[in-house]
A and B are shown apart, each in its own frame.
Chain A
Amino acid sequence: MNLNMNSVETLVAQIHGLSGSISDINQLHSLLKQSEDLFQSESTRLAPLLTELDPFMHSLGYLYILDACTSAPISKEQASELVLSIARFINLCAAEQIRLAPDKFTSVCKRFKDQVMLLEDPMQGVAPMLTAIRKLQLSSEHLTTLHPDFLLFCLLAKCYKPGLSILEDDIFDVDQPRDFFLYCYYGGMICIGQKKFSKALELLHNVVTAPMSILNAIVVEAYKKYILVSLIHVGQFSISFPKYTSSVAQRNLKNFSQPYLELANSYGAGKISELELCVQAHNEKFEFDKNLGLVKQVVSCMYKRNIQRLTQTYLTLSLQDIANTVQLNSAKEAEMHVLQMIQDGEIYATINQKDGMVRFLEDPEQYKTCEMIERIDSSIQRIMMLSRKLTDMDEQLSCDPLYLAKVSL
């Protein structure tokens, strides 16, 4: 035992000594990899060593020791301390050093997540997890294993803004497919919570159409939400899948979401009463999937959809007529609905309160301002970059041996 402790002490001394330049760090890394078993055997006694090391200068060594410390079972009292110390490490560590041992860092963060969940205080986990992601990522387009955990924290803590900031980055590199599924699913939920339905639709669409060889539960749940969000945002839902959906999903998803498809059908018919009947019929199912809130939003969206359809037929309409066509109870309710829609920017109209007439207007955007030029210009830049990436991927696929084998048959 003492011999082991001595060798651990020498290792600590080496950590101190070899944390200077890049070549030293590489050497240190190989040394640490060799002494993994040593760390594992001494895991209970390593905690005091951590105080000797500086998390920024000796991040790599600190990481290894921390990993060994946390692999042992932790009691509840130690949990909060541990959470604080890991959070401190994450905030202070040096990104280049920890990128040398990404799986160790990921496992430390996973244990951090477990402890935070144990403590039932997800708010503590949000900020450190965000820093951890930023340090682990090779670029802002890289999806790490920590992304879904971070989004889970945001959801549980109801702290959506940092989650949204992460969701704004476009993803091009994915480590593990499971991370991708979870990330998009949680991301979709956060966007629904923030009422950013278009982004939610995009994320859920990604989950449903992602390549997969067998169906998994995340996709099934995502598909249900996808139907509902599509009804809210677009007003219709098409049953056919785009051609890049995996055949597994195409064949099996419909079996799991029957009630939702019926809801979509009755929505398409356009009658509020039918829709409400349908909702009543499948109430328990919706509640079981925790989608009842979304379903209620779908019903209220029906009114909006009908009023929008009126703008395409009429130029002016009285509030009473609107109420009758849309099956609202009174002109007052119709006025409130129309007012809300004008404020949200969903229609362009003016309400004349004297005679209760609503006049529908055209989109006042004239496309002659400088801001519009900047918007279009930035969109063009984005799409040029995307186009370049696509061409690269296309070329890579053309050289893929699997593809060549199938084409040349």
Chain B
Amino acid sequence: MASSSSSGLTFKLHPLVILNISDHYTRIKAQSQPPPTSSAVNDAVSSPPPPRVFGCVIGVQRGRTVEIFNSFELLYDSSTHTLDRAFLENKQELYKKVFPHFYVLGWYSTGGDAQESDMHIHKALMDINESPIYVLLNPSINHAQKDLPITIYESELHVIDGIPQLIFVQSSYIIETVEAERISVDHVAHLKPSDGGSAATQLAAHLTGIHSAIKMLNSRIRVLHHYLLAMQKGDLPCQNSLLRQVSSLLRRLPAIESEKFQDDFLMEYNDTLLITYLAMFTNCSSTMNEMVDKFNTAYDRHSRRGGRSAFI
């Protein structure tokens, strides 16, 4: 498999496709095996290899741009290593009615890397689309990796050892979103696994998000500051282009400077602080109240014991 494609096509991937594939995979994985215990997750030897899921991707090709809009699932027959053809055509008919412009662009699967058996499926699809696309999602979670674990492969005819062979070549892609998709992706991104329903945890989650954003901003500014100091001391060579960028960044704030803004801003700030103060007060008072009750029960000789009397 070569590293980059030479076909010159631009691929645009919609997040809906990614969500569909990941949803399909998660469902199959959850249904096929009992949920792994925490020890089993770490021990890669004992757990069975994750199942592979298959499906089709559909979209539009205009000129040199291939835009992948949607996807649907397919059944995979592992004995014959083929996809269920009849189902595929059925589904294709249905989709054609709703989206007349879309047609099958290729297929998707999950796994770490493209495998040899995939080529069979690829060739089988070649009669629908002469150059199908293979979208591969890597379900293993890698926290160090910043990019999406999606790769798009095209097939190219290369001469290897004198034999012309079809092999997969990787292509780059960009993510394209419609407004509706942006909202749903945002929603999914903020879903918490435990009860995200109560207002307190939602507020805490919201504030945590803001806090981490500010922390990141702070660390980046610190890096810049450190860099500028080093430049001032002379440890680093002076780069005027960088200095210009920093200067333009600094001029963006403060955005408003008028006195009325100051007044309103400080008043609102003080209001928030007062509310925090009030909340802490209430918290403290309730702790104090409980403590006083406990103290009275423990130490005051003649306090009423609230319902316990000698006559019971």
Using a CB–CB cutoff of 8 Å, the interface residues on chain A facing chain B are: 211, 213, 243-244, 246-247, 366-370, 372-373, 376-377, 379-380, 383-384, 386-387, 390-391, 393-394, 397-398, 400, 402-403, 406-407, 409
Quick check: A383 and B295 within 8 Å, CB to CB?
A: no
Alpha-carbon distance A246/B271, docked complex (angstroms): 39
Which chain A residues border B2 with CB–CB below 8 Å?
none
Quick check: B294 and A368 within 8 Å, CB to CB?
A: no
Quick check: B298 and A406 within 8 Å, CB to CB?
A: yes
Q: Is B299 in the interface zone, CB < 8 Å from A? A: yes
Quick check: A387 and B270 within 8 Å, CB to CB?
A: no
Which chain B residues border A369 with CB–CB below 8 Å?
266
Q: Residue-by-residue, is B149-162 near A (CB-CB < 8 Å gives 1, otherwise 0)?
A: 00000000000000
Q: Residue-by-residue, is B20-59 near A (CB-CB < 8 Å gives 1, otherwise 0)?
A: 0000000000000000000000000000000000000000
Which chain A residues border B299 with CB–CB below 8 Å?
211, 402
Quick check: A390 and B287 within 8 Å, CB to CB?
A: yes
Which chain B residues border A386 with CB–CB below 8 Å?
284
Which chain B residues border A403 with CB–CB below 8 Å?
294, 297-298
Quick check: B274 and A387 within 8 Å, CB to CB?
A: no
* Minimum CB distance partner of A242 in chain B: B292
Quick check: A407 and B297 within 8 Å, CB to CB?
A: yes
Q: List 21 A-B contacts (CB under 8 A).
A: A211-B299, A244-B295, A247-B301, A247-B303, A366-B267, A368-B267, A369-B266, A370-B266, A372-B266, A373-B273, A379-B277, A380-B273, A380-B277, A383-B280, A383-B281, A384-B280, A386-B284, A390-B291, A394-B290, A397-B295, A402-B299
Query: Which 8 pairs from chain A and chain B are nearest by CB?
Result: A403-B298, A368-B266, A376-B273, A244-B292, A368-B267, A367-B270, A402-B298, A394-B291
Alpha-carbon distance A211/B288, docked complex (angstroms): 15
Q: Is B276 in the interface zone, CB < 8 Å from A? A: yes
Q: Which listed residue, B274, B283, B284, B288, touches A376 by the CB 8 Å rule?
A: B274
Quick check: A247 and B284 within 8 Å, CB to CB?
A: no
Q: Which listed residue, A244, A376, A379, A398, touches B296 by the CB 8 Å rule?
A: A244
> Given the known A-B contacts A243-B292, A373-B270, are A400 and B298 also in contact in the complex, defined by CB atoms under 8 Å?
yes
Additional A-B contacts beyond A383-B284, A384-B280 (16; CB < 8 A):
A243-B296, A367-B267, A368-B263, A368-B264, A370-B266, A372-B266, A376-B277, A380-B273, A380-B276, A383-B281, A393-B291, A394-B287, A397-B294, A402-B298, A403-B294, A409-B308
Quick check: A397 and B298 within 8 Å, CB to CB?
A: yes
Alpha-carbon distance A370/B273, docked complex (angstroms): 12
Which chain A residues border B303 with CB–CB below 8 Å?
247
Quick check: A246 and B266 within 8 Å, CB to CB?
A: no
Alpha-carbon distance A400/B291, docked complex (angstroms): 12
Alpha-carbon distance A319/B68, docked complex (angstroms): 85
Quick check: B280 and A380 within 8 Å, CB to CB?
A: yes
> Given the known A-B contacts A243-B296, A247-B302, A376-B274, are A387 and B283 also in contact in the complex, defined by CB atoms under 8 Å?
yes
Which chain A residues border B287 with CB–CB below 8 Å?
387, 390-391, 394
Q: How far is the CB of A193 from chain B (nearest CB, A)?
A: 30
Which chain B residues border A368 with CB–CB below 8 Å?
262-264, 266-267, 270
* Minimum CB distance partner of B264 in chain A: A368
Q: How far is the CB of B184 from chain A (nearest CB, A)?
A: 39
* Minimum CB distance partner of A409 in chain B: B308
Q: Is B305 in the interface zone, CB < 8 Å from A? A: yes
Quick check: A387 and B301 within 8 Å, CB to CB?
A: no
Q: Is B300 in the interface zone, CB < 8 Å from A? A: yes
Which chain A residues border B298 with CB–CB below 8 Å?
397, 400, 402-403, 406
Q: Which listed residue, B269, B270, B276, B291, touches A397 by the CB 8 Å rule?
A: B291
Alpha-carbon distance A388/B90, docked complex (angstroms): 66
* Minimum CB distance partner of B266 in chain A: A368
Which chain A residues border B264 with CB–CB below 8 Å?
368
Quick check: B280 and A387 within 8 Å, CB to CB?
A: yes
> Given the known A-B contacts A366-B267, A373-B273, A376-B274, are A394 and B294 also in contact in the complex, defined by CB atoms under 8 Å?
yes
Which chain B residues border A400 with CB–CB below 8 Å?
294, 298
Alpha-carbon distance A387/B281, docked complex (angstroms): 9
Which chain A residues border B281 with CB–CB below 8 Å?
383
Quick check: B300 and A246 within 8 Å, CB to CB?
A: yes
Q: How far is the CB of B273 from chain A (nearest CB, A)?
A: 4
**Chain B residues numbered 138-183 whose CB sits less than 8 Å from any CB in chain A:** none
Quick check: B267 and A390 within 8 Å, CB to CB?
A: no
* Minimum CB distance partner of B305 in chain A: A406
Alpha-carbon distance A387/B282, docked complex (angstroms): 10
Alpha-carbon distance A397/B291, docked complex (angstroms): 7
Q: How far is the CB of A384 from chain B (nearest CB, A)?
A: 6
Quick check: B273 and A377 within 8 Å, CB to CB?
A: yes
Which chain B residues border A244 with CB–CB below 8 Å?
292, 295-296
Q: How far is the CB of B109 from chain A (nearest CB, A)?
A: 54
* Minimum CB distance partner of A247 in chain B: B302
Alpha-carbon distance A402/B300, docked complex (angstroms): 11
> Given the known A-B contacts A370-B266, A383-B277, A406-B305, are A398 and B294 also in contact in the complex, defined by CB atoms under 8 Å?
yes
Which chain B residues border A246 with CB–CB below 8 Å?
300
Q: How far is the CB of B267 from chain A (nearest CB, A)?
A: 4
Which chain A residues border B297 with CB–CB below 8 Å?
403, 406-407
* Minimum CB distance partner of A387 in chain B: B284
* Minimum CB distance partner of B269 in chain A: A373
Quick check: A376 and B270 within 8 Å, CB to CB?
A: yes
Alpha-carbon distance A393/B266, docked complex (angstroms): 37
